[in-house]
Amino acid sequence: MKNKIVVFSNCHGEKYIDIFKKNSNIHELFDIEYLVSYELLDNFSNVKETFESADILIMNNIKTYNDFTVSNLKSLMKPNSKLIVIPFVRFNGYWLPENYKKLKNFSANTVEQFPDIKITEVKDYLNCCHDSEKIIDNYNEALMKLKSIESESDIQFFDWFIDNHLKYPMFRDYKHPTSNLIEYVGNEIMKLIQVHCPLVHISSKLIFKNDLYEYGHYKPINDSVKTILNIEYDIDKIFVCSRENYLYNILKHEETNILIQNLDDMKVKLIFDKCK
């Protein structure tokens, strides 16, 4: 009978499991169960036995729900089990505070923090000059928060982020990391599993991309932020379409009466012009 890995995490957890399957033999050595944290925070009694049976528990650091705190779950686990606390990585250093527009045709599952602009203001919004001091102050404050997030997890990622984030896109918006950061964190998680179980073999060499064309939640970066922070990659190649097309198509769709409730729905009803 295989030992069990339980992943108790936000939506990033599923991506980490995919990395395990792609780049290691972890899935051959363990049964893996994924619990979506935000769906279960009011249902502790239904999942308590799952935590008790875990040989390795991989979880975000939850502080506001007493049943799901690291200390409580650790107390439930078997004496020889392994607890790995992973970060919920968030970074607002590429986006200055601004007013947001309430969209009538998009749920928060598809578009969040959309700028309060009109369709005629898209180019000016992307090209306008922001104060360099504000950009640097916002960036440094976000770095402090990111360092704090690292300090509360078992994954060391901050120094790697500093060394690489200007060369490779790391976030599509402040709480949705790109595949580059997900791949790195996933690889570090596998190393900690390997310490607990030496039979784990990690086969991948990390390869990061500066042209991603990803889909999902997204917030464009302003030209002046790119310049002031010395971002090297093309900020029009993070999302599946250019920044201008993204903002324009969202605002154009707002002129209709067609509701978009999730990302799959968005793919069907809103066609972005590819920038590839």
**What confidence score (pLDDT) does residue 259 get?**
94
Q: Which two tokens stand for residue 257?
A: 């009466």
Domain count, the chain: 2
Q: Is 241 left (phi over 0), alpha (psi -120 to 50) or beta?
A: beta
Rg (CA), the chain: 20
Claim to verify: residue 47 and residue 13 sit in the same structural domain: yes
106 and 232 belong to one structural domain: yes
Q: The domain containing residue 47 runs over which residues?
A: 1-86+179-210
Query: So what's the pLDDT on residue 274?
Result: 65
Same domain, 149 and 113: yes
Q: Does one domain contain both 202 and 120?
A: no
Identify whether residues 22 and 135 lie together within a single domain.
no
Task: Identify the CATH number of the domain in which residue 80 sits.
Answer: 3.40.50
pLDDT at residue 276, as a whole number: 47
- Same structural domain for residues 38 and 127? no
Residues 99 and 222 grouped into a single domain: yes
Looking at the fold, whether 51 and 11 belong to one and the same domain comes out as: yes
Q: Which of 84, 76, 80 is nearest to 16 (CA)?
A: 84
Residues 225 and 200 in one domain: no
Shared domain for 206 and 225, answered yes or no, is no
Among 19, 78, 12, 17, which Cα is nearest to 50's?
78
Same domain for 152 and 223, yes or no, is yes
Pairing of strands 30-36, 56-60: unpaired
Per-residue confidence (pLDDT) for residue 42, from 0 to 100:
84
Residues of the chain with pLDDT under 50: 276
Look at strands 176-177 and 171-173 and give their pairing: antiparallel
User: Nearest-CA neighbor of 34 among 44, 52, 47?
Assistant: 47
Mind listing the pLDDT tens digit for each residue in 123-152? 999 999 889 999 999 999 999 999 999 999
Phi, psi of 59 (to 5 degrees): -150, 150
Residue 174's closest CA among 111, 90, 89, 86?
A: 90
**Is the same domain home to 163 and 272?**
yes
Q: Sign of the C-alpha dihedral, residues 73, 62, 146, 23? A: positive
Q: Residue holding tokens 């709480």?
A: 175
Residues facing residue 208 across a β-bridge: none
- What is residue 28's three-state secondary structure? helix
What pTM was computed for the model? 0.93
